[in-house]
Structure formats: structure tokens, C-alpha cells
């Protein structure tokens, strides 16, 4: 079995849920506390032992490349001011080598992944979406790569969501379950009604390269876009694709409410900030005559 060595991080989306913030700023650069969301994703891949990362960018996404590059002037400035702790924070992202390709028009997630086909070649690979941050003892994508290495089947990360939210996700129709692993009858993208379950695709995938044969067909799916989920269903019919209920806490940073709550929760997780944030929240509640019920 080939090892999972490469990862694709699609970052070409228009970020419409965050307008106007994302008019001139890539949504992937919106910070959770003091780190852009995409850095959490890249760090998960690196921690999981992924050797090569490609980010699929698009128009207006330059800031992502700059973020993972060396910032000479800023570094010199911090050295002169002897701000070595900040210097380390600035250098951290530039230590990772990242490849880039541009998706020339926004045709959907399936098309964004297809743009990376030449970089991936004929081996299994990971896909990590920036809308989901996962905190886990063992990186989520590593848990899934280990599953792939046992069976040779593609593995799709899933979590339970409320039925009222199934319309926002790819949803599985489960066939059978062994612990955290599900065999799947069908993968359905954003069902408008009668979802086959409430097990939703969260943005982590291990895919075999045969997925490109289906993405190549560029069939249009839900929302008028080329959907990765539709290609996954075709791949499921060909060689079996499993779903894996990974361990860890998932933060939904792809929509405004989840983004705000993630910022609060991660700030509360940070020992240097916790007490001041709690005090700040109490003050805000008091000043606005609000209370926690
Ligand atoms: C994408 C996928 C969907 C998945 C979701 C997870 O949708 O198409 O299957 O459930 O990511 O975040 P998007 O949120 O990009 O519309």
C-alpha cells in the first residue's frame, strides 16, 4: 500500500459568507485569535507527517502565499527591536514549503481538487478543507491515513450534526458500521430534504488517485458546481469508499457564528488570555444588561 504523502488544501472559494470582510482578504487569512485559519490546517497536515502540500488558490489570494513566505523587512525590524518571540512566530509559517496552483474560475470544490491532479500523480492523497479546524490528540488526517493504510480504500471524515443542519453538508447513507468506520451505500451532497442520516462529511478526505477519472468528467452537481461528493460516490461504486468518525473536536469556522464562537473558545483555551477574556465577557454582559441564562 502506498503511503499518504501529499495533501491538497483548496483555498479558492469566494468566501461569500464573510462579505464584506472577504472583499479584498482571502477568507483563509481570517484569524482565529492570532493565527490565520489556513495555518491551523497546514499545521495539522505537517504534524500528520504529510511531506508535500499544494494549496489551490484563486484570484485575490496572494496574501496566503505571502503568509507562508519569508518577510525580510518585518524580520529585520523585529531583530533590531530584539522582539525574538515575535520573530519566531513570524518565521514559523515560512519554514513549511508549499506548492501553489490557481483555479482559474470558481467551479466548485471538485474542480479545485482536480486542479491539483498533476501534482498528485498516481498516489493516494489527503484533502483538508479550511472551513473545519479539528483539535485532536492524533491529527485528524493522520487517523484517517492510518485507516486507509489498513484497507486501501478512500476514507472520508464524518461527524454527527443536528438533522436541521444536514442541508449544509455532504451526508452519508450508511450500510454497516465497525467501530468508527462505516461502509457507505451512498454519499449525497447537501440533501434538501429526507437526508439519509445525520452523519456529515467534515472537510477531511483520503482519496485514491482514481477520483481524478471522475472529476475529469466535470459533471455539474448541487448548487451548479462540480462537487467532490459526487465524484466520491462514483468512486464508491467502483472500489468502495469508507467513512470514518474521527476522534477530536471540530470547529466550524466556515460560517460567521462558528467563526465567532471558535475565536471565543480558543481564546479561552489560551492561558495567557483566559482570565482577561472572561473578565471582558462579564463586563460586556453587564454593560449591555445581558445575562447567561
Ligand atoms: C463542502 C463539501 C461538503 C462538506 C463540507 C464540509 O461544502 O462539499 O460535502 O460537508 O464542505 O465543510 P462547502 O462547505 O464548501 O459548501
CA dist., res. 267 & res. 286, Å (int): 20
- CA neighbours closer than 13 Å in the CB half-sphere of residue 284: 7
pLDDT over threshold 90, residue 219: no
pLDDT digits 0-9 by tens, 38-62: 999 999 999 999 999 999 999 999 9
What's residue 157's pLDDT?
A: 98
What pLDDT was estimated at residue 222? 86
Mean pLDDT of all residues in 17-35:
96
Please state, as a whole number, how many other Cβ atoms lie within 10 Å of the Cβ of residue 182.
21
pLDDT score recorded for residue 69: 87
Q: Supply the pLDDT for residue 97.
A: 81
pLDDT above 90 as % of the chain: 88
Does position 27 have pLDDT exceeding 90, yes or no? yes
- Asked: is 6-252 a CATH 3.40.50.300 domain? The reply is no
pLDDT score, position 80: 95
Distance CA 252, CA 261 (A): 9
Residue 72 buriedness (CB in 10 A; 0-12 / 13-18 / 19+):
exposed
Please state the atom number of ligand 1 nearest to the C-alpha of residue 13: 15
pLDDT band, residue 218 (cuts 50/70/90): confident
pLDDT of residue 209: 97
Q: Model pTM?
A: 0.94
Question: What is the model's pLDDT at position 223?
Answer: 85
pLDDT of residue 114: 97
By most ligand atoms within 8 Å of CB, the mutation choice from 161, 168, 215, 220 for ligand 1 is: 168
pLDDT tops 90 at residue 106: no
Name residues contacting ligand 1 (CB within 6 A).
109, 129, 131-132, 169-170, 189, 200-203, 227-229, 254
Closest to 244 (Cα-Cα) out of 161, 166, 177: 177
b/e map of 248-258 (b: 16 or more CB within 10 Å)? bebbbbbeeeb
For the cut 90, the answer to whether the pLDDT of residue 5 exceeds it is yes
| pLDDT for position 66 | 93
Q: For a ligand 1 pocket test, name from 201, 224, 233 the mutation site with the most ligand atoms within 8 angstroms of its C-beta.
A: 201
187-202 pLDDT, tens digit per residue, is 999 999 999 999 999 9
pLDDT(292) > 90:
no
Please state the atom number of ligand 1 nearest to the C-alpha of residue 170. 9
What are 53's strand-pairing partners?
A: 7, 98
pLDDT in tens, 113-156: 999 999 999 999 999 999 999 999 999 999 999 999 999 999 99
pLDDT for the residue 77: 93
Report which protein residue has its CA nearest ligand 1's atom 5.
169
Q: What is the Cα Rg of the chain in Å?
A: 20
Query: How many angstroms separate the alpha carbon of residue 201 from the centre of ligand 1?
Result: 7
Output the pLDDT for position 236.
Answer: 97
Residue 192 to residue 223: CA distance in whole angstroms: 11
Residue 15 alpha carbon to ligand 1 centre in Å: 13
Is residue 160 classed exposed, middle or buried when 0-12, 13-18 and 19+ CB atoms within 10 A define those classes?
exposed
- The yes-or-no verdict on residue 215 having pLDDT over 90 is yes
Partners of 52 in the beta sheet? 6
Q: Does pLDDT of 90 surpass 90? A: no
pLDDT average, residue stretch 81-102 = 90
Query: Can you give the three-state secondary structure of the chain, one letter per residue?
Result: CCCCCEEEEECCCCCHHHCCCCCCCCHHHCEECCEEHHHHHHHHHHHCCCCEEEEEECCCCHHHHHHCCCCHHHHHHHHHCCCHHHHHHHHHHHHCCEEEEECCCCCCHHHHHHCCHHHHCCCCEEEECCCEEEECCCCHHHHHHHHHHHHCCEEEEEEECCHHHHHHCEEEEEEEEECCEEEEEEEEECCCCCCCCCEEEEEEEEECCCHHHHHCCCCCCHHHCCCHHHHHHHHHHHHCEEEEECCCEEEECCCHHHHHHHHHHHHHHCCCCHHHHHHHHHHHHHHCCCCCC
pLDDT surpassing 90 at residue 81: yes
Q: Which of 140, 138, 179 is CA-nearest to residue 156?
A: 140
* Smallest CA separation from ligand 1 atom 7, residue: 169
Domain boundaries, the chain: 6-252, 255-293
Q: What separation in Å is there between the alpha carbon of 47 and the centre of ligand 1?
A: 23
What is the atom index within ligand 1 of the atom nearest the CA of 132? 12
Amino acid at each position: 500500500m502506498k503511503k499518504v504523502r501529499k495533501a491538497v488544501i483548496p483555498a479558492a472559494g469566494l468566501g461569500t459568507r464573510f462579505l464584506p470582510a472577504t472583499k479584498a482578504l482571502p477568507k483563509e487569512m481570517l484569524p482565529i485569535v492570532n493565527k490565520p485559519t489556513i495555518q491551523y490546517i497546514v499545521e495539522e497536515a505537517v504534524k500528520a507527517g504529510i511531506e508535500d502540500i499544494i494549496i489551490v488558490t484563486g484570484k485575490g489570494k496572494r496574501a496566503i502565499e505571502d503568509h507562508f513566505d519569508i518577510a525580510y523587512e518585518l524580520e529585520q525590524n523585529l531583530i533590531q527591536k530584539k522582539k525574538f518571540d515575535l520573530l519566531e512566530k513570524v518565521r514559523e509559517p515560512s519554514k513549511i514549503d508549499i506548492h501553489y496552483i490557481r483555479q482559474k474560475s470558481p467551479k466548485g470544490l471538485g474542480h479545485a481538487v482536480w486542479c491539483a491532479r498533476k501534482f498528485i500523480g498516481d498516489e493516494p492523497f489527503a484533502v483538508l478543507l479550511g472551513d473545519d479546524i479539528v483539535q485532536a490528540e492524533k491529527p485528524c488526517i493522520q487517523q484517517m491515513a492510518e485507516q486507509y493504510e489498513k484497507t486501501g480504500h478512500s476514507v472520508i471524515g464524518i461527524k454527527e450534526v443536528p438533522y436541521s443542519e444536514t442541508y449544509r453538508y455532504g451526508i452519508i447513507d450508511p450500510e454497516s458500521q465497525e467501530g468508527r468506520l462505516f461502509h457507505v451505500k451512498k454519499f449525497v451532497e447537501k440533501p434538501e430534504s429526507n437526508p439519509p442520516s445525520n452523519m456529515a462529511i467534515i472537510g477531511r478526505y483520503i482519496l485514491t488517485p482514481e477520483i481524478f477519472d471522475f472529476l475529469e468528467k466535470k459533471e455539474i452537481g448541487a448548487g451548479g458546481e462540480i462537487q467532490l461528493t459526487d465524484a466520491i460516490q462514483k468512486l464508491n461504486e467502483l472500489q468502495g469508499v469508507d467513512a470514518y468518525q474521527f476522534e477530536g473536536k471540530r470547529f466550524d469556522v466556515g460560517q460567521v457564528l462558528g467563526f465567532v464562537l471558535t475565536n471565543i473558545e480558543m481564546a479561552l483555551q489560551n492561558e495567557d488570555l483566559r482570565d482577561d477574556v472572561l473578565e471582558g465577557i462579564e463586563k460586556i454582559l453587564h454593560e449591555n444588561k445581558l445575562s447567561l441564562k
